[in-house]
Amino acid sequence: MKVDFYAKNILIVDDNQINIVVLKNLLEEENYTSIISATSALEAYDILKNNNIDMILLDVIMPHIDGIKACKTIRQNPDYNHIPIIMVTADITDETLAKSFKAGANDYINKPVNITNLKVRIESQFMNIHKDALILNQNRLLAVNETVQMLAHQWRQPLSTISIITMGISIAYEFDKLTLEHLNKSLDNINNAVQELSLTLDEFRQISDIEKSASLNNINDTINKSILLTQGRFESNNIKLYTDLQNQEDILYFPNELIKILISIYTNSIEAFTRIPTKTKKSIKVSSKQNNTFSYIKIVDNAGGIQENIISRIFDPYVSTKEKKNAVGLGLYNAFHILKGSMNASLKVTSKGSKTSVTIKLPTSKYKEKIKTYPKIVRTTYLNYNL
């Protein structure tokens, strides 16, 4: 996998100008062409605001704001918390490294800097970014197929209704029994079915929009909308749906992103049911609850459970609960990172016997101030996560 990353913007942050010059020369000798420098954390923050930075080489020991505090601050800002950070330090004690990684560093390199070591670590981080981009593009292609399938299920009933009505008009006309009253009533029913088709299309278009900022919404409303968009598939697969939605206060989150994740979880359960004996009473239960700190969504199915050797790796990319021919394994990987990165939420999957439980935990009051401070969170996500 060949990637051209030599023109990417690399930010060097070090209070020692000599160290900056040495690092810059080493990088330029390796054909990196866009290198920016800062001599303090505050200067680095300003550069991040005004430049598209692709990587940060961050000194640990600096006056006023050290590298560990700077790394933590960068990670708390969703506008650039995705940027890989490599700590550059002479202190490689376990304590310092532990603090660096806890603050959000991706890697480290010790001083004096070895160019081969530096080159390998920089390339490794850029390759990881490239891999994530490939995963996202693959998911985008798969989304088209899933969206068509979802629309097909939602459109099947109104299209069948239109077909039956038009056939009834034709038969009545053939036997000379078509009255004006019959025709008008049939046309009204056709119009109602067309309106239902249009409404469904509008709903899918809405949840496909990319949200640029969070908004105040009710978790139960989001759950109900996700169920409405998939109820045709529950019915066609003879799955009984139960809900237990407790009272919820509005909280800040990304409703369209959450709907996509919920639909994806339902889809995974529906497909899992196809692999169990037909006599099984299929059921999915969706429940919600809320306290002063968190809102919870829990989805439980009895579709056969997940194997122990898979559930331990369930959030890894390309790990799938499906049969190999249908497996992609990006679903929970993507859902986990979207919830964590965009909403500071978490995702937990457990399985016991024939039952699998998926729990989504979203922060309530504590997250409101953070999202108001950094509203420009953009996540490109798609309907199909292929769990």
pLDDT tens string, the chain, 387 residues long: the values are: 456 678 889 999 999 999 999 999 999 988 888 999 999 999 999 999 999 999 999 999 999 899 999 999 998 887 887 899 999 988 888 898 899 999 999 999 988 888 888 888 898 888 887 777 676 666 556 655 666 666 676 677 788 889 999 999 999 998 888 999 999 999 999 998 888 788 777 766 666 656 567 888 999 999 998 898 888 788 888 899 999 999 999 998 888 888 888 888 888 888 888 888 778 899 999 999 999 899 999 999 999 887 776 665 555 554 445 444 443 334 566 666 677 767 788 888 888 888 999 999 999 864 444 444 333 333 333 333 333
Q: Give residue 1's Cα distance to chain centre.
A: 25
Same structural domain, 200 and 222: no
Same structural domain, 244 and 166: no
Same structural domain, 230 and 270: yes
Same structural domain, 45 and 154: no
In a domain, 355, yes or no: yes
Which among 113, 145, 172 is the end of a domain?
113
In a domain, 126, yes or no: no
Which among 164, 181, 204 is the end of a domain?
204
Domain count, the chain: 3
Q: Report how far apart, in Å, the C-alpha atoms of 319 and of each of 33, 45, 313, 316 are.
A: 38, 37, 7, 6
Same structural domain, 369 and 248: yes
CATH number for the domain including 252? 3.30.565.10
Same structural domain, 291 and 329: yes
In a domain, 264, yes or no: yes
Same structural domain, 362 and 236: yes
Report the relative pairing of strands 355-363 and 240-245 from DSSP bridges: unpaired
In a domain, 4, yes or no: no
Same structural domain, 295 and 274: yes
Same structural domain, 94 and 241: no
Please name the amino acid found at residue 228.
L
Residues of the chain by 3-state class (helix, strand, coil), percent to 5 = 50, 20, 30
In a domain, 124, yes or no: no
pTM: 0.51
Same structural domain, 231 and 356: yes
Please give the residue range of the domain that contains residue 50: 9-113
Are residues 261 and 360 in contact, defined by beta-carbon separation less than 8 angstroms?
yes
CATH number for the domain including 31? 3.40.50.2300
